Structure 1
Amino acid sequence: MDQEKNIQSDLASHVARLLREAFGKGPQSVYVSIRRPFIVFYLRGLLSPTEKVLFEQDQVFFIQQTRDLLMKSLIPEVRAYISLLAGMQIREFYYDWGLHNHSGVFVGIESYEDDPGLFNQEMYFGKEELHLEIASISQHVQKLPEEIYSCMLNERTLLVIRNGILISIEKELIRLGYDEKLKLAKRNLEKGHLHNNNHFHRILNTKVIDVFADWDFELDKSVFVFMLNPTQ
């Protein structure tokens, strides 16, 4: 247990330093949750002075586009640190920002032989109803996912994964090279539904303090991360 905490602490320190060098201001805190094959970094207090001005001027898309460019160089370094310190070979990497909360999340998924759907055999409070709610949101925005599974990494971190989510017109936009614009649009649309949903607190019987979303268009896959406050 002590070794695991040391690994999480070292990873948090390295990622905080990387972000400080890239953004000019590091996060106030980084929390690392590991439950193989998943690793989640939760970032708090991350908004540079320049971004603060842009955010106040409602230039959210500009901030997101700038961060997307920075992440292209940061992701390989984060993967390398995870491999070095935790021994995890990250196959998939996702990230998202909660600019209104000055927060963010990184999600790594390592190569695994077992069927991740096995996590559906694990139960936590509200799981079945949560999957139904996610399916309903997905159908309203685009279509029913072919598969939904989830994992409660710890009492504060819930990861939901959807497979088979893209509709034909989205696949064509990706083929034509509009994947970055599509991701920006989906962030705005789907996260709007997630943030404006007043059922999650009741379903999970706890306060949801942050919700994040990202997509891997090549894999036709997306992740949601719910950050919870179990004391409320």
Structure 2
Amino acid sequence: MTNRTVESVIASSVGKLLRDHFGKGPEAVFVTVAKPFITIYLRNFMAPMEKVLLDKDNDIKVQDTRDVLMEKLLPEINTILSSETGERIDHIYYDWALPNHSGVIFAEMDMETPVNQVDYDYPARATVHQEIDRITREAQKPPHNLKSFMLNTRTLFTRREDILVMIERELIENGFEEELRLAKRRLEKRLLNIDLLETELGQKIEDVFVDWNFDNDTGYMIFILK
């Protein structure tokens, strides 16, 4: 199958899975397969009860509820991705932009080609790296092996390693991984200089998503561009 066919099947299958379990699926699902990465961008994804909670500023409750459901769905999503791409999926991540009613699910395929040998180049890479390095230094410490990839005209994918500080490792060890994840998401998004990035990229940034693999000390940031 072509990439476009694979992306279409993944979009349909994941959209149905979310609809079956959340009661309301996303209005639109945009899938990008750019090996070794897969991104699934969800537009207008908000159940009626979640909207009520958001209106009452209970976004943490929405996040917690979604996390419980997603942990149940991740094995099924893994099966969909591995079946359609023919590749083993290393890990699946996700994040939400609740005010925009959007979200992203993304994954790395477990392929023989190292990420260091993958190159989806773009003109503003140096400035993007400077900004990601700056916010990582402010929030934690200088990142090692910072990489970024323009997977298509709308999806900028960044990956950085060795960013956790000792207090974060201690919190993870003591079972506060979820609290740490939510706090880090808010902090890193708040620190970003969006105006600078939009100027350098020549495009508006529609959404920013962040997640981590705490076991491997790897952080991801995805920008969805207009």
TM-score w.r.t. length of structure 1:
0.94
Separation (CA, whole Å) in 2 of partners of 1:67 and 1:94: 13
> 2:190 matched to 1:181?
no
Superposed, which structure 2 residues align to 1:1-232 within 5 Å? 3-119=2-118, 122-194=120-192, 197-229=194-226
- Kindly provide the amino acid, as one letter, of the partner of residue 141 in structure 1: A
Q: Is the 8 A contact 2:133 2:142 kept in 1?
A: yes
- Kindly provide the amino acid, as one letter, of the partner of residue 115 in structure 2: P
Q: How big is the alpha-carbon RMSD for the aligned residues of Structure 1 and Structure 2?
A: 1.3
- Kindly provide the amino acid, as one letter, of the partner of residue 222 in structure 2: V
- Kindly provide the amino acid, as one letter, of the partner of residue 153 in structure 1: L
Q: Is the 8 A contact 2:27 2:44 kept in 1?
A: yes
Moved over 6 A (4+): none
Q: Is the 8 A contact 1:148 1:163 kept in 2?
A: yes
Q: Is the 8 A contact 1:125 1:205 kept in 2?
A: no
Q: Is the 8 A contact 2:33 2:39 kept in 1?
A: yes
Separation (CA, whole Å) in 2 of partners of 1:177 and 1:63: 20
Per-residue CA distance 1:45-75 (angstroms, 9 max, x = gap) = 1001100010011111110011010010111
Separation (CA, whole Å) in 2 of partners of 1:122 and 1:14: 27
Separation (CA, whole Å) in 1 of partners of 2:114 and 2:10: 27
- Kindly provide the amino acid, as one letter, of the partner of residue 35 in structure 1: A
Q: By how many angstroms is 1:122 displaced?
A: 5.0
The 3-state SS of whatever aligns with 2:181 is helix
Per-residue CA distance 1:98-127 (angstroms, 9 max, x = gap) = 1111000011101122231223x5531210
The 3-state SS of whatever aligns with 1:69 is helix
Separation (CA, whole Å) in 1 of partners of 2:62 and 2:207: 19
Task: Note closer, same or farther for the CA distance 1:66–1:122 as it changes in structure 2 (3 Å cut).
Answer: closer
Per-residue CA distance 1:158-212 (angstroms, 9 max, x = gap) = 1000101100000011111111111111112112223x63211012111111110
Number of aligned positions between the proteins: 226
Gaps of at least 5 residues in structure 1 are none
TM-score w.r.t. length of structure 2:
0.96
